[in-house]
Structure 1
Amino acid sequence: MIVSTAAAQRRALIVLVLTLLLGASRFISEGFVSKARAAGAFAVGKCGAYGQAFDYPAEAAARAAALKQCKGDCTAVTMKRACAALSVDMANPCGAHGYAVAPKISGSLNAATKKCYEFGGKECVIRAWACDAKG
């Protein structure tokens, strides 16, 4: 059977269009899922206490969940499609600490450690970290 060039081009075009439609529908559905669950929070307290919550539908729910996990008087920061990290001074865990929120994990880890040293830490290490959605 001989297929004309025009018919072959039409079939190729149909295959291309279907492929693009499938790819677009997947991209759209994943985008809606990640946006629907893109709230997180990180709570930080004294002596290395922390709480974390990620991929919650709303910031208030994430904040409440993080604060519930944190023991003592804690401060909560929200992270939306980002990462948060907590660094504490291992020489004195109840002393200096630092925390940060950044778009990527590497940025939050570096900034939290830097802040711990800025506040007087001598042996600052990462105590905890969390990323929300695509952070």
Structure 2
Amino acid sequence: MVSIVVARRRALFVVAFTLIIGASRFVTESWAAGAFAMGKCGAYGQAYDYPAETAARVAALKQCGGDCTAIAIKRACAAFSVDMTNPCGAHGYAVKPNISSSLNEATRECYKFGGKECVIRAWACDAKG
């Protein structure tokens, strides 16, 4: 027979463990917004693990400087590829669930738009990407 003290300790442990798991999930999900900004001639900016997409976009655009376009990356990975023979020419980007597929797709997009020596200029993953 289990004593009341032992039963209470077990119950307290279960409650505490549940609260810890719940809090860690909340932190991961609440800081799970990011953005990637791309501009002319290989300019870029990145922001990840922000509390909201708007804040992430502002931070990425600020890093990029100039005439840049921002894309959201929420619980994913983004990659940006440029043509090294002409950095102001062809480029490509991709947002995918994991880093390998985003790197591959960004490079393919660069070649698709006429790149001759496309390389990854930058990449970023946001929470669990």
TM-score by length of 2: 0.87
Aligned partners of 1:116, 1:26: CA distance in 2, in Å? 44
Deviations 1:29-52 (A, max 9, x none): 211001111110000001100000
Deviations 1:54-97 (A, max 9, x none): 11111111001100111221000001111111000111111100
**Which residue does the alignment assign to 1:127?**
121
> What letter is aligned with 1:51?
G
Identity of aligned residues (%): 68
Task: Supply the RMSD in Å over aligned alpha carbons.
Answer: 2.0
Instruction: Note the residue ranges of structure 1 that are not aligned, 5 or more in a row.
Output: 1-5
Structure with max Cα Rg: 1
Aligned partners of 2:52, 2:119: CA distance in 1, in Å? 30
**Which residue does the alignment assign to 1:71?**
65
**Which residue does the alignment assign to 1:51?**
45
**How much does 1:25 deviate?**
3.3
Aligned partners of 1:30, 1:51: CA distance in 2, in Å? 28
Instruction: Note the residue ranges of structure 2 that are not aligned, 5 or more in a row.
Output: none
Aligned partners of 1:130, 1:44: CA distance in 2, in Å? 13
Matched ranges for 1:106-125 at <5 A: 106-125=100-119
Moved over 4 A (4+): 17-23
Aligned partners of 1:124, 1:18: CA distance in 2, in Å? 57
